Amino acid sequence: MAAQGCTLSLWLWLWLWAPLLLPLLLGARAAAARWSGPGTTPHLQSIFLGRCAEYTTLLSLQPGNKNCTAIWEAFKVVLDKDPCSVLPSDYDLFINLSRHSIPRDKSLFWENNHLLVMSFSENTRRLMPLCDVLYGNVGDFLSWCRQENASGLDYQSCPTSEDCENNAVDSYWKSASMQYSRDSSGVINVMLNGSEPKGAYPVKGFFADFEIPYLQKDKITRIEIWVMHEVGGPIVESCGEGSVKILEDRLEALGFQHSCINDYRPVKFLMCVDHSTHPDCVMNSASASTQRESPSLFTAVHASLIISLLVALTSSSQV
Partner 1 sequence: MANYEFSQVSGDRPCCRLSRKAQICLGIGLLLLIASVVVAVILLWPRAPLVWEGKPTTKHFPEIFLGRCLVYTQILRPEMRDQDCKKILNTFKRAFVSKNPCNITKEDYEPLVQLVTQTLPCNKTLFWSKSKHLAHEYTWIQGKIFTLEDTLLGYIADDLMWCGDPSTSDMNYDSCPHWSENCPNNPVSLFWKVISQKFAEAACGVVQVMLNGSLSEPFYKNSTFGSVEVFNLDPNKVHKLQAWVMHDIEADSSNSCSGSSINELKLIVEKRNIAFACQDNYRPVRFVQCVKNPEHASCS
Positions in the binding site for partner 1 (CB under 8 A): 41-43, 46-54, 57-58, 68, 119-120, 122, 141-142, 265-267, 269-270, 272-274, 276-277, 281, 283-285, 288
Closest distance to partner 1 from the beta carbon of 235 (Å)? 21
If the CB atoms of residues 54 and 82 are measured against partner 1, the closer one turns out to be 54
If the CB atoms of residues 47 and 246 are measured against partner 1, the closer one turns out to be 47
Closest distance to partner 1 from the beta carbon of 67 (Å)? 12
Closest distance to partner 1 from the beta carbon of 189 (Å)? 14
Count of CB atoms situated within 10 Å of the CB of 88: 19
If the CB atoms of residues 120 and 207 are measured against partner 1, the closer one turns out to be 120
Closest distance to partner 1 from the beta carbon of 98 (Å)? 15
Closest distance to partner 1 from the beta carbon of 158 (Å)? 15
Closest distance to partner 1 from the beta carbon of 75 (Å)? 15
| Radius of gyration of the chain from its Cα atoms, rounded to whole angstroms | 27
If the CB atoms of residues 246 and 281 are measured against partner 1, the closer one turns out to be 281
If the CB atoms of residues 60 and 257 are measured against partner 1, the closer one turns out to be 60
Closest distance to partner 1 from the beta carbon of 51 (Å)? 5
If the CB atoms of residues 48 and 173 are measured against partner 1, the closer one turns out to be 48
If the CB atoms of residues 85 and 291 are measured against partner 1, the closer one turns out to be 291
Closest distance to partner 1 from the beta carbon of 170 (Å)? 19
Which CA distances in Å does 13 have to 26, 174, 269, 276?
Answer: 20, 56, 66, 64
If the CB atoms of residues 49 and 187 are measured against partner 1, the closer one turns out to be 49
Q: Give the whole-angstrom CA distance, residue 261 versus residue 223.
A: 11
Cβ atoms of residues 99 and 183 within 8 Å: yes
Q: Give the whole-angstrom CA distance, residue 304 versus residue 119.
A: 39
Crossing angle for the helix pair 44-54 and 68-75, to the nearest 10 degrees? 140
